[in-house]
Amino acid sequence: MVNFGKSLMADQLEEWKEYYINYKMMKKKVKQYVQQTQNGGRDREQVLKEFSRMLDDQIEKIVLFLLQQQGHLASRIEKLGEERAVLMEQSDSFQISGLREAYREVGLDLMKLLRFVDMNATGIRKILKKFDKRFGYKFTDYYVSTRANHPCSQLQQIFKQVGIVAVVGALSRNLAFLQDHQGSFPSIYDHPSITLKDPIIEQINHSVQKLTHATNLLQFIGQHALIIPEDMQSGSEDLVDDQSYHFMSLLLNLANTFLYMVNTYIIVPTADDYSVSLGAAATVCGVIIGSMAVAQVFSSVYFSAWSNRSYFRPLVFSSIMLFLGNLLYALAYDVNSLAVLIVGRLLCGLGSARAVNRRYISDCVPLKTRLQASAGFVSASALGMACGPALAGLLQTKFKIYGLTFDQNTLPGWIMCLAWIIYLFWLWISFQEPDHIVRENSVDTPSSDSCHQRNGNLEDGLSQPFLIDAKERLDENGDDNDDNEEDPEDSHKPATSLAAAYRLLTPSVKVQLLIYFMLKFAMEILLSESSVVTTFYFNWSTSTVAMFLAVLGLTVLPVNVIVGSYVTNLFQDRQILVASEIMVLIGIAMSFRFTSHYSVPQYVSSALITFVFAEVLEGVNLSLLSRVMSSRLSRGTYNGGLLSTEAGTLARVAADMTITAAGYLGQNSLLNATLLPSFVICVASIFATFCTYNSLY
């Protein structure tokens, strides 16, 4: 793997050579400063200020050249506009076609400029990381806090491409006008929903969106699933085409996601009643609900590894385990065994194939539809979360067939048994193993962890996210390889164990995983104890609890629409992150019972605040996690998706065990006893966020 310094020299345009960041010189300076500070020859503050001035000079050189080139492009567009005005009067279609090509030539030059910005932005990010690594993460905090938000900051010119976006707008408008030489094509400004189907403009728009971290609804929801990082890293390097892509197989993965979430939450409204009917305390519902999450801790690992070789077999195994688990859950009442009930839920957890569902979307769905598929994954999860309790609310009946009891406690198990049998039949006749899995299983060829390959052309380079392109992320853990004794090949290999993956976690990644743990813990406490709490304080029926949980679940998609479409365009992700954490803390604090009287409005309003802002927090948290995580955690079995899944699953386990343990204090103390850990963890996550705030770009 070529290190970044060498690739920068190899990829830069010869005529612009003097305007690129002098990465080699900056790297040597870092080494010198380290040696000088270790020998006592330089004060750290003096080094910081001197290196800051040096980096300021480099950024100024880049920005001034960028502005100069933008001016040249603007002048060319202006001259072409004059030619267009003359040609429109003549209606010469041949010359209009030539003019259209001239505009596209400007577009190609603009793509070169975008690549110039991308490479320099990567250099800036890498040199900041290198200085952080050598000086204890101090320099980025100092530099970003004093430069990024300053009104005269030139760093903002690299972060926010206002001038380039204006040039793109001019190109799009003129090409749209020329698409119909009569000039009847509607203006892009009057009809913003109309997109120009021009390959050059599409490539430029895609590049600009990556450079500016532009966040639309699909991208936000896709990041919510932590599927987008692999997309981002691979950019447009896509081996999956429309011929090899099988829509029905994708639909089966989404159906698996939906049914699993229904299976998870369908028992929540009745778990306390079921445990009481078997002679246990109502708070044992925490064990019943949490046992599924306990098994998922282990199933996530083997399903992630299994998906390297097949997608069909893991899904079949998942369906069988979930069928058996639900069968035992339903039979537990008639055999009067709490152990059978818990074993059934454990088997359901062992059938959790969410790692396979994520992996299929990231590896085997074409790039152009991956965002929609990622959004579908989150939507299927949200819909299943809402449908589970709602379905439980409809099962308020009781009858017997051949000695088997069918009531509100056992019917969820029987219904899910039937659902998984139907799904298994559908899976068996409709699923198609991806081509790359078939090839790897039939012939001994070098394997790949995804359906992608790299081709390294200009458009591919531009499709990488701003300041996080593939080369930069592949090198960031190898410290550029040229001054690292570690084998370059080893420095880019995926983690081979959870311990190896943990060693790749930077403080920023650890904090984001802590936040993810916190929000999952708070949500699980809220959902799992809802039936016990509302029955004790408000005497709610099972149907009322089910309706309440369904309403909470239905808020997921509207919240994602609002945040993804509007809020993320107004505020930085890190600002939304902190605000959401504070609101979750407020929601938790409002949930405490401070007096002898605990009202329905207090409980419902605090639950809505906690749940809604936890959902907002989850999307932003996973978006930031995708940016700060090492590229080595984007591939292989022990990837970032697995780590986040494990963090969330462990949080659910801890929350459910907390509910059961707090039950020994009595139901009167249950609410406050379970909310206290949520409050403490939330405060800790907010403190940790502020400690790493300036490292969250």
Q: What is the pLDDT of residues 514-523, one digit of tens each?
A: 999 999 999 9
The predicted structure's pLDDT at residue 14: 85
In angstroms, the first-to-last Cα distance of the chain is 26
| 247-433+500-692 is classed CATH 3.90.1150.10 | no
Buried/exposed code over 49-65 (b: 16+ C-beta within 10 A; e: otherwise):
eebeeebeebbebbbeb
Residue 330 has pLDDT above 80, yes or no: yes
What's the one-letter identity of residue 249? S
From the list 73, 68, 65, 69, the residue with the least C-alpha distance to 18 is 65
Q: For residues 596 and 498, which has the higher predicted lDDT (pLDDT)? A: 596
Report residue 257 as tokens: 């996601």
Report residue 671 as tokens: 């609410």
The predicted structure's pLDDT at residue 636: 65
Q: 429 burial class (0-12, 13-18, 19+ CB within 10 angstroms)?
A: exposed
Distance CA 294, CA 26 (A): 49
- What is the band of 631 on the pLDDT scale with cuts at 50, 70, 90? low
Residue 333 has pLDDT above 60, yes or no: yes
| 3-180+198-225 is classed CATH 1.25.40 | no
Q: What is the pLDDT of residues 609-626, one digit of tens each?
A: 999 999 888 878 877 877
Residue 10 has pLDDT above 80, yes or no: no
Highest mean pLDDT among 187-196, 272-281, 434-443: 272-281
Domains 3-180+198-225 and 247-433+500-692 share a fold: no
Average pLDDT over residues 103-121: 85
For the chain, what are the domain ranges? 3-180+198-225, 247-433+500-692
Put simply, whether the predicted model's pTM sits higher than 0.85 gets the answer no
- What is the band of 188 on the pLDDT scale with cuts at 50, 70, 90? very low
Residue 215 has pLDDT above 90, yes or no: no
Check the CA dihedral 42-46-49-54 and report its sign.
negative
Check the CA dihedral 485-489-492-498 and report its sign.
negative
Question: Between helices 354-364 and 285-306, what is the axis angle to 10°?
Answer: 30
